Structure 1
Amino acid sequence: MRIWGVRGFRCASLIFVVLPLPALAQDSMGPAGVNALVLHTAPYDLTGRKIAIGQVELGRPGKFGFDKVSIRSQMMRPGGLFFRDRPAKSDRGDTGQGDREVDAHAHKVASIMVSGDKVLPGVAPGARLYSAGVGSIQNSGQSQECRAANHIAMQNGEDVRAINFSFGESLARDPRPNAQLDGNALLTLCVDWSARVHDVLYVVAGNQGEGGIPIPTDNFNGVNVAFSARWDGVFRKVDFANVGGELASVASLQVGRERNLNQRRSIDLVAPGSELALINPNGEAVTSSGTSFAAPHVTAAVALLQEYGDRQLAAATPGWNLVARRHEVTKAVLLNSADKLQDEGNGHFLAMERTLLNQRGQTWLQSPAYGQPAMPLDLTMGAGHLNVFRAYEQFKAGQFGSGPGIAVAAVPDRGWDYNQVAQAGAGQANPVFRDYVFQQPLEADSYLSATLVWDRQVELVDLNGNGAYDLGETFQNRGLNNLDLFLLPVETTDTAAAVASSVSPVDSTEHLFVQVPQAGFYKVRVQYQDQTHGPVQPYGLAWWTQPQQP
């Protein structure tokens, strides 16, 4: 039985059976899923050590030695537990307002991130998880949820790298008249404000179609996740529950209700979420499904990447600096390294490990996003399926910047950058565009992948001047500057002659996945197009290409 919207969760929970823990194994962590387990082993040895990630839900996970209900769940040891913005109390049951703190759903989500169990390990078992429950939907709302998120973002010495949202708010509960997914719900504004101010990547369980809990999936600065099911034993097909407006009979009805307005993309990534083996607070294994369980794969992947980045910083590795922690860089790396089409061994599909299919059995090359400059991501597939090992390979390549105007430094076939462009007249130090010229010629018929991300500017109307969100405060949406992304032959200066372009006027992501028409030298250009707020716009960029083979 598929249960929709239970307790306000976005998750579609499909419970088959409760079994002793050793009877189930989790394949979503391995090669058939997000391919994270290899990074736990030598020579990588990445488990998320000393990296803080967060979780906000209606309830919170249990903790062994703290909550009686979790006495058998010894491999789940969250670093900090809260009820909203206050320390949690031990398994106290009812809070006096009909709320229970320890929650099975939150515990299962947390197990995907930080479980240390040998049979059912999490993506980042060494990470520090800070979790806040906001209480039942009858006694909480977007203000309390924003306050809890703000509190989690301030943990670990104000150094939390990603926060998981496996819950959401219904538009029916939003106090705005005729509320729609226009990016202006309080919780959505809160997510975009906090992402920028606290430099944290919010990962949100994405749109599951009619009946879902869509707020804050209309955010700009986070990552929205849909869920995949097994196909021939591999997580590579978008589950039918992720309708996302693809079906013509319901698409027009969902605009503004289950899909973002103005043709903005609702999904960034896909991750496993169908029939997963998860751990209950009592230590038992259960099988569940939903985007609630896809999102934490992405959140915990951030911890693995950030452990690697911090390791490079600690070793004073040349070319590595603190911008490696920027949420824009992490987002660009995750999206750009996602699987779309399985490589045939010649590198043309950039060593991708699976072919992702939408509900109709179509690949990314058959999607409306392919070849459409104003549509950077697919409606239900986003940029593709999370592959943590490929994300590691993308991130490990390191940062390579460019000079003002025409590029003065060439870049390798794979890498990333954190930089800025500006409106014309802002000065030579902040050019209108930056060019990334590839050191080697690209191979004909191979594919190039490049992803550009930047933030919407949301500011807190801080009534008491304490720099934190407090109940009763609001946000000001200052809008989104417009950046564009182009692939050009190296000698070309006019973007009108671009080989390919990503020029969405409404999204905060531009994405190129394009076949190189002929061997030769190329460059990627990031260009400032239109100003909505400030004249200078920081961005994160990641690229992956196939150099011409001898």
Structure 2
Amino acid sequence: MVIANSMSVNGRFTRVDFSSLGSEPTVVPGRDPSSESNVGARRSVALVAPGSNLQTITPDGETAAPASGTSFAAPHVAATVALLQEFGDRSIREVVQSSRDPQETHWGLDARHQLVMKAVLMNSADKIEDNGNGLHLGMTRTLRSPRNRTWLESDAYESTHLPLDADLGTGHLNAFRAYQQFSPGQWQPGRIPAIGWDYRTVSLPTDRSEQAPRQHTAPYRDYFFDAPLKRESFISATLAWDRVVDLQDQNNNGQYDVGESFVDRHLNDLNLYLMPALANDISEAIWASNSPVDSVEHIFFQIPQTGQYKLRVVFDEQVNEPIQPYALAWWSVEE
């Protein structure tokens, strides 16, 4: 995850610092442009965290000094992951001690997976401050880009092909909201509550011969919200999966050594759709995130009418393995 740093405005970290390069940085003369930007069209910034004029202690352990930069923003994210993992391990331990079924309690070892952490952190990020009615999912701040744009003014909000804002990612880290996102536990495809997450796989048919061609409808997983979602409320949903790279292990010792390299096996393409509960075809989706180049899909969308909805995870195109693990996190408002 690439973390941008925010600056304090009137005592609150609500704006991306001007020093953050973003996904499409201005190239610095004398530097290799490829080292300053992402490969291809995909965007890099995942989250924003506090990182400007932070009070730190110098190496002598005695002197206080301000510090700024992404090097001070990223530890906020790592610390939040540590807190979530502590909570998850405690929840798993309680399940083991009670001898209850992990599926019944919604806590198992999947809670430790890095993709779950990524989806939870990104999906719970602050975008637009809630005015108290809960329609903006209880978010605590409005985050602005260096050019003073909010997420609702970004191209990512307008386009299904852009899951991330170039400067804001999915928004500003909020450790308490991440806990709220994580604490309902894991829910498998089928009926789901308003807030939750899952770690799962989606796979292609095993028989790929000409006699059994791929079906027109790609393999998918459906998550049906238990209760109607509220009109004019927002839904946030984040899908994350890994790129595949292979180590060129020259001495066959099973680990990276200096001088060895990696080969990119490219990216299986997963997509995420918000659909009426009874819809069967993705053409009936009311919104989607279907970037062809990113390993994250993200939906932040205002519900047009109170009703029953579902999220659909689609395995759209195989490039490497036929079985694709993923993590999904969602946050919605019930009627």
Shared fold (TM-score, shorter chain, > 0.5): yes
In structure 2, relative to structure 1, the CA distance for the partners of 1:461 and 1:375 (3 Å cut) is: same
Q: 1:270 is paired with a residue of what secondary structure?
A: strand
Q: Name the counterpart of 1:513.
A: 300
SS at match of 2:40: helix
1:187 corresponds in structure 2 to none
Unaligned runs of 5+ in 1: 1-222, 403-408
Q: Are 1:356 and 2:143 counterparts?
A: yes
Runs of at least 5 residues in structure 2 that lack an aligned partner in the other structure: 96-101, 209-217
Distance 1:333 1:518 in 2: 26
Higher strand share: 2
* From 411, 423, 433, the counterpart of 2:192: 411
Counterpart of 1:423 in structure 2: which amino acid?
Answer: L
| Alpha-carbon distance in 2 for matches of 1:255, 1:247 | 9
* Residue matched to 1:258: 36
The reply to whether residue 235 of structure 1 matches residue 13 of structure 2 is: yes
Deviation by residue 1:179-199 (Cα, 9 ceiling, x = unmatched)? xxxxxxxxxxxxxxxxxxxxx
Query: What is the Cα deviation at residue 472 of structure 1?
Result: 2.6
Residue of structure 2 aligned with 1:277, choices 55, 65, 86:
55
1:303 aligns with 2:82: yes
Letter in 1 for 2:44: S
Asked if the contact 2:23–2:43 (Cα under 8 Å) also holds between the matched residues in 1, the reply is no
Q: 1:255 to 1:370 in 2, by over 3 A?
A: farther
Contact kept, 8 Å, 1:269 with 1:335, in 2: the verdict is yes
**1:356/1:305 Cα in 2 relative to 1: closer, same or farther (>3 Å)?**
same
Point out the structure with max Rg over C-alpha. Answer: 1
Between the aligned partners of 2:261 and 2:70, the Cα distance in structure 1 is 29
Quote the RMSD (CA, aligned, Å): 2.0
Counterpart pick for 2:286 among 477, 499, 516: 499
User: Which residue in 1 is equivalent to 2:212?
Assistant: none
1:399–1:417 CA contact under 8 A, matched in 2: yes
Preserved CA contact (<8 Å) 1:395 1:416:
yes
Please say if residues 125 and 177 of structure 2, whose CA atoms lie closer than 8 Å, have aligned partners that are also in contact: yes
**Matched residue type, 2:69:** G
Aligned to 1:322: 109
Question: Structure 1 counterpart of 2:38, which letter?
Answer: N
Report the 3-state secondary structure (helix = DSSP H, G, I; strand = E; otherwise coil) of the residue aligned with 2:327: strand
Residues in 1 aligned to 2:16 and 2:290: alpha-carbon distance in whole angstroms:
26
Q: Is the 8 A contact 1:434 1:527 kept in 2?
A: yes
CA distance in 1, matches of 2:207, 2:50: 44
- TM-score of the aligned structures, taking structure 1 as reference length: 0.55
Asked if 2 retains the 8 angstrom alpha-carbon contact of 1:454 and 1:539, the reply is yes
Q: How does 1:21-420 map to 2 (within 5 A)?
A: 223-244=1-22, 256-283=34-61, 284-316=63-95, 318-402=105-189, 409-420=190-201
8 Å contact kept, 1:245–1:254: no
Distance 2:26 2:19 in 1: 15
- C-alpha displacement at 1:246, in angstroms? 6.0
Number of aligned residues: 315
TM-score (norm 2): 0.90
SS in structure 1 of the partner of residue 158 of structure 2:
coil
Amino acid of the structure 2 residue aligned with 1:519: T
- CA shift for structure 1 position 425: 4.3
Give the partner amino acid of 2:51: G
% of aligned pairs identical? Answer: 50
Per-residue Cα deviation, 1:62-106 (whole angstroms, up to 9, x for no partner): xxxxxxxxxxxxxxxxxxxxxxxxxxxxxxxxxxxxxxxxxxxxx
Q: Is the 8 A contact 2:123 2:236 kept in 1?
A: yes
1:386-535 equivalent positions in 2, closer than 5 A: 386-402=173-189, 409-425=190-206, 432-535=219-322
In structure 2, C-alpha distance between the alignment counterparts of 1:254 and 1:234, rounded to whole Å: 35
Q: State the one-letter code of the partner of 1:264.
A: R
What is the alpha-carbon distance in structure 1 between the residues aligned to residue 129 and residue 227 of structure 2? 24
Q: Which has the higher contact order (CA 8 A, sep 6+)?
A: 2
Say whether the 8 Å CA contact 2:246–2:262 is kept in structure 1.
Answer: yes
Q: What is the deviation of 1:424? A: 3.9
Check whether the contact 2:27–2:36 (CA below 8 A) recurs between aligned residues: no
Q: Once the 2 structures are TM-superposed, how far is the Cα of residue 364 of structure 1 from its aligned partner?
A: 0.2
Deviations 1:189-225 (A, max 9, x none): xxxxxxxxxxxxxxxxxxxxxxxxxxxxxxxxxx100
